Structure 1
């Protein structure tokens, strides 16, 4: 194992590996995905997997499989350790079965008559369509097409990565499919199985082909049986609540109810302040967090000093320790934002590399990222220094103090630049709120 170079797989690539190990995809499909997605994060292009033998790991460096891709030969994948699982219905072993096991359970024929791809939460209309298809009476279904009661798979594409804000994720989609399975079994007498299919949509892989690999003789996408009228009603659902508020309450009351409920399905965000000690970043960050909370947005404030006392207790102030502190803040902020919250962080974050890592963590979590450079000049920061840190640093009593004995790398990628010398806190907060609101929509 140690004689082969390693490649850390993303969540999307882990989905492809799971399909390959389960017999839904040939190893060549995995090789094609890896070649199109260089490990160093560079844009997709004519990249190679690398040497003929590569160990594939997850983010925790657990060796999961060894892929062999000899020149002019046939790629092969050898499992090394089981892939990590999590909690939730999409991880239930009775649902998340390898393709080869699903095929083997279909009897001597090795094929189900019909596979229904459940890509969205089914409406009543789609439930009726599914029942008709399961009974062999759906549009375009005849007695020779193999769609007969007793052979039905509900295939639910599920991804490791977080879902888009406001959409039903993998657990909810699996639960909805299981409810549909019970309804279909009761209404048609069909033998219905729900199967979670790891699916990220990478490369040129077809979801229909993957569904066929699970043993379906015919694949139908259930969402295609949603009529335009139903689709229009579904699309209008987000506005139903606000219309009800306006109908039941006077304008001022409706506005407050809308404000309180507005954060329920928003995309998460990380608002990251950086600047010298005394620049005013913590003051602005605290005020911003309070305003966002009042707007009904779940907000977590990660103040640099408070983090130092808890999350980063024991770290020094050398460059490596500072980078570790910033990365820890970024990691926690990304966790908050991943679940739709707003994380407001206000460390000094003096180095560009550390700030870039925080941005990457936020973006990997599917969150918005706003970098605010509080650019208050050093002289103003020193004049505000109530704790005497600058004076002590100039006297040599504090080593590696940012702006004095340790550098501050001014960001060239800030989304907002605010100098609190002449920008009052309320105005600074309004600028950040306006920028964030435009991003959140």
Structure 2
């Protein structure tokens, strides 16, 4: 009996695990709930097929979409088997290679400990875990950790003349991954976690950081006054913002939005990403693609984004939002809660169609998808955009930088 193929939309953790697996970082790959019999097409939140899973092993279909930021630098984010081949070609199969895991900001203690840690090794690989999942508030995200990894790499290079690599590793925190196994697949013989070489006194000082301010307030003010000062400070918040990207399918709006959200979140801006396809799977599940349904989808996104802004956060939304009336409603909701920035990603239709990672334009041209924006349904070009970006001539990094300049005008 032939078992029909099924499709599974990958969570952020599963995307990280799949990327690691396809690069040779793990033997097998599994999905939440267990894979059914037969083959499973694995897609991202935009329904782009990335790989086919069968028998616990995945085969790549398309490359992963890349975003901006140091953790996406192709010189650092490389497959495990490529890294292992390179390091072994340089030092030989029998040489002793050390992997140093950097999963926390490195203090002076750890940098001092490097002198002893890297001694007597033929090469050193600095491994930095990078998760697509947003970090816990107060924790350093993937961009920051990658910068820390570069600092550690340079510190190692100052202390030894052996080859030193810094490698960003896609990391799924709840997938049962072990650094011992992952390090071996990157070509290492031994692995150390740098934060384990922190002195107890330093750990105690770090643990006290969160209470230093409140302790000083308690020392400076009488108790009733101190309580009011603490409450007032906790209640203070910066103005919330909705950054709303609009543009054709394939214009690059999601890529820029994801990169912007990651950068802002890494800076502690409490950022929520509301991407068009992901919202369709959850907030607007069951809606069609006729004009009324599209307008309702955009209004729902606008409502959730306005709640984020009201509470002082940054909401980054990236639907197609083809109609001026829908965008106007989002502006109304957002400006009642905070600030609204409209970004029109104006990439030409022919460029979007040439990209067509999901094959949607081809289906629309063939009449298989009705009401497809840009083909059989209109896109009303914004006349009120705060920023216009064409990703066919602007890199993701420059696009994010331009949005940041607009945000800094507040």
- So what's the TM-score if we normalise by structure 2? 0.56
How far 1:117 sits from its partner (Å)? 0.9
Alpha-carbon contact 1:106-1:112 (below 8 Å) kept? no
Please point out which of 116, 131, 136 is paired with 1:132.
116
2:174 corresponds to: 202
The CA deviation string for residues 150-206 of structure 1, in whole angstroms up to 9 with x for no partner, is: 500111111001000011111111111111211221133343211111111233332
Would you say how many aligned residue pairs link Structure 1 and Structure 2? 263
* 2:257 matched residue in structure 1: none
Any gaps of 5 or more consecutive residues in structure 2? Answer: 241-268, 273-290, 316-410
Could you list the runs of 5+ residues in structure 1 that have no partner in the other structure?
Answer: 39-46, 70-74, 137-147, 269-296, 301-317, 344-441
Map 1:377-396 to 2 at 5 A: none
3-state SS of paired residue (1:106): helix
Counterpart of 1:79? 60
| CA–CA distance in structure 1, aligned partners of residues 147 and 225 of structure 2 | 36
CA contact (8 A) 1:112 1:215 kept: no
Distance in 2 (alpha carbons) for counterparts of 1:323 and 1:165: 32
**Could you say if the C-alpha distance between residues 24 and 327 of structure 1 is closer, same or farther in structure 2, counting changes exceeding 3 Å?**
same
Contact 2:123 2:162 in 1 (8 A): yes
Contact in 2 for aligned 1:55/1:63 (Cα 8 Å): yes
**Any residues of structure 2 matched to 1:126-165 within 5 Å, and which?**
126-136=110-120, 148=121, 150-165=122-137
Q: State the SS of the aligned residue for 1:105.
A: helix
Residues 260, 22 of structure 1: CA spacing in aligned structure 2 closer, same or farther, 3 A cutoff?
Answer: farther
Of the candidates 192, 196, 204, which is equivalent to residue 220 of structure 1? 192
- Whether the aligned pair in 1 keeps the contact of 2:128 and 2:145 (CA below 8 Å) is yes
Work out whether 1:88 is the aligned partner of 2:69: yes
Q: Is the 8 A contact 1:158 1:199 kept in 2?
A: yes
After superposition, residues 311-350 of structure 1 pair within 5 angstroms as 320=293, 324=297, 327-329=300-302, 331-332=304-305, 341=313
Equivalent in the alignment of 2:5? 4
Matched, 1:101 2:78: no
Task: State the SS of the aligned residue for 1:78.
Answer: strand
What displacement does 1:229 show? 1.6
Deviation string 1:300-335 (CA, Å, 9 cap, x unpaired) is 9xxxxxxxxxxxxxxxxx995785356313552587
Q: CA deviation at 1:6?
A: 1.6
- Residue in structure 2 matched with residue 360 of structure 1 by the alignment: none
CA pair 253-231 structure 1, distance change in 2 beyond 3 A: same
Task: Give the number of the structure whose alpha-carbon radius of gyration is greater.
Answer: 1
Assess if the C-alpha contact under 8 Å between 1:184 and 1:190 holds in 2: no
Q: How big is the alpha-carbon RMSD for the aligned residues of Structure 1 and Structure 2?
A: 3.7
Question: How far 1:252 sits from its partner (Å)?
Answer: 9.3
Alpha carbons of structure 1 residues 134 and 336: separation in structure 2 relative to 1, 3 Å = farther
| Partner Cα distance (1:91, 1:299) in 2 | 19
